[in-house]
Chains A and B, each alone.
Chain A
Amino acid sequence: MPDLEKLREAVIQGNWKAAAAVTQAAIDEGVAPLTVVNCLIPAMDEVGRLFECEEYFVPEMLLSARAMKASMELIRPLLAAAGTEPVGRVVIGTVKGDLHDIGKNLVASMLEGGGFEVIDLGADVAPERFIEAVTTRKANLVALSALLTVTMPSMKTTIDALQAAGVREKVKVMVGGAPVNEQYATSIGADGYSESAGGAVALARKLVAA
């Protein structure tokens, strides 16, 4: 029986090769895919904790996410075959007019590590593309990022567009980025705001569970 503690260690240490090897061994031994997932998610939660208490920097966190991804790539086909849904399905992008994407990329990686299926639309994303992605990919969460005060209004434009397209009620919307705050998020009709990438995962889980 593969030692799934080794998988947990591999994820926490950011060793994608070891993570893939232990996962493959588990699959070969007939370990249920969900058992593997239930080892991966707490491992990434521990990584998130290490980041929040400043033991890890982003590189360590992303290497862990890469290790989790290597394991998930082996597990995902088995989960799909069994009809297992991800924790949530999130469409993420930097809003129209804004080319910044580092923060958005970080949140996307963290959400993947947190068990979400992530549809990353990139930067400078028009509202129509968010609507299309929500509709075609059956997302239940939209994550909007902006780094400039002059592009923040595009967040409201996007939320209003989701409303006009009749899909607003099907999704929760979370926002983030340097100039954004809780008050602004509430004023534009977002469902949540996260100040940090680590906090974004916890917020995303709370929103999809609501």
Chain B
Amino acid sequence: MIYAELAIPEVSRLVFGRAPKPVACGFGLTIGAGQVYPEVNFTLPAITIDGVNWNQVLTHYEEMARNIVKRAVSLRVPGIVLEFELLPAMTSTPQWGAEITALLHRHLSEAHEKHGLACALRVTPTDIRDQSKPPRLRSGEAVEQLKRSFELCIQAGADIMSIESVGGKEIHDAGLMYGDVRSLAFALGVLAPRDMAWLWGEITRMCSGSKAVAGGDTACGFANTAMQLAHQKMLPEVLAAVVRSMSAVRSLVAFEQGAVGPSKDCAYEGPVIKALTGCPISMEGKSAACAHFSPVGNIAAAMCDLWSNESVQNVRLLSGNAPEVFTEVLAYDCRLMNAAAASGGALALQRWLIDSDEHLSPQAAVLSPRATIRIATAIAKADSHYHATVNAGLAAVGLLRESVDAGTLNLNRKEAVWLDRIDSDLQALPGNEGSLVNEMRDLHAGVFDPASYAL
């Protein structure tokens, strides 16, 4: 564990727009230096991606880039990040992802030259390593395609490289479905950090010597899956909240390996990363409703340095195409935050963002600056990723219990039963990581590949 102390130990310094270690990237953009910038994330409508209709695909990206830049310039945004999330086919065929990267880079270059727009392009290849069962994460064709995708996208002009990595997900999914805290702790505290260390060692190596920065990862495949299942009433919200807190440890490993931020927009665990590393983060909330619903729409903005819409398809709405529409939505969100900060009102606005959500959902309750510092402190005290993960889970349970006891958070009977169950399951975890590994090897034999995790 590298982060034994918090870079931001005081609640009052954990605020949107400012990070102790701002990141300069792209065309004149510095993230975390005092302003919040929109991060527009856009994708294709329902369309088959293959060589036959590739020109149609390119036409969509040309249109999206043109419209987003047009809106950004019209609204005089002080800066903007565009995010290109590669679809699986674009990663498996690396030159496809690189071609779109080059197209988007061209649009941003022209916008900077013509309009002085400070901007950057984040590129996020798909983690295609889990195509085999069990996933082979360190070797094989999918790994080579993924690496090649990174290399070509960096060469094509990407400014920030990210990924939504999935090491450990094969166990985590089963753990979520059965509410199995032991399997969740194994996935998040043992498997995922090991894969993150290997993967981000590769990514930071590929970025070094280029102008691309190693941005960061996300526990999307873990904690956001839990959040969406909780939204559909399939899982308890308290489980999603605890998983969110536990998942911060695996995402932190990217920074231990040299990532500098901004972390991915869907990394709702970003505030914990910011508190520990001092690096800037991207977040998403209410303005990501085009992609999914969440109980943290306002509070998610409280500590962001980039503010994102998660993903929106290129479809026509009444005013214009959706990517352009959401450029405006994000631009105004950021304008409000920046105006508040410029007039000394950042903490006041932050207070309202927090207050509007914090007491209405366990998932929001673990996202406040106060909760963030507490979870980050619990992580920093640990001597291993496994212990840090368990500590984070127990810290989240403690926070939720205190909120319930104080009458500031209401849990129904079912949720309260689950909180007790999660607490006792966490307490019952072995102190010895090796003991859990042996147990899980037997329980999940054939589901994960130990060699992929150097086990």
Contacts and interface: CB of A to CB of B under 8 A. Distances in A.
B178 interface: yes
A57 B234 contact: yes
Interface string B39-55: 00001111111000000
A105 interface: yes
Given A54-B233, A55-B414, A58-B235, A99 B177 contact: no
A58 B130 contact: no
B20 interface: no
Contacts of B45: 149
B173 A57 contact: no
A178 to B, nearest CB: 9
Given A97-B89, A102-B225, A150-B44, A58 B49 contact: no
B79 interface: no
Nearest to A54: B233
B235 A57 contact: yes
Given A97-B89, A99-B88, A153-B48, A59 B235 contact: yes
A150 B49 contact: yes
Given A97-B88, A105-B177, A153 B133 contact: no
A63 interface: yes
A153 B46 contact: yes
Nearest to A66: B178
A59 B178 contact: yes
A8 B179 CA distance: 22
Interface string B8-51: 00000000000000000000000000000000000111111100
Interface residues of B, number: 29
B179 A59 contact: yes
Contact of B47 (A55, A58, A59, A153): A153
Given A57-B235, A59-B235, A102-B229, A149 B179 contact: no
A150 B46 contact: yes
A57 B237 CA distance: 10
A61 to B, nearest CB: 9
B87 interface: yes
Contact of B48 (A55, A62, A105, A150): A150
Interface in B112-145: 128, 130-131, 133
A9 B236 CA distance: 23
Nearest to A52: B233
Nearest to B234: A58
Contacts of B418: 57
Interface string B227-261: 00100011110000000000000000000000000
A9 B133 CA distance: 35
A124 interface: yes
A150 B173 CA distance: 23
B236 A57 contact: yes
Contacts of B155: none
Contacts of A106: 177, 234
B234 to A, nearest CB: 4
Contacts of B452: none
B313 A58 contact: no
A152 interface: yes
Contact of B179 (A57, A102, A152, A153): A57
Contacts of A97: 88-89
A122 interface: yes
Given A97-B89, A99-B128, 8 more contacts: A54-B233, A57-B179, A57-B235, A59-B235, A102-B225, A105-B177, A106-B177, A150-B47
19 contacts: A54-B233, A54-B414, A55-B414, A57-B414, A57-B418, A59-B179, A59-B235, A62-B177, A99-B88, A102-B176, A102-B225, A105-B173, A124-B131, A148-B87, A150-B43, A150-B44, A150-B47, A152-B46, A154-B48
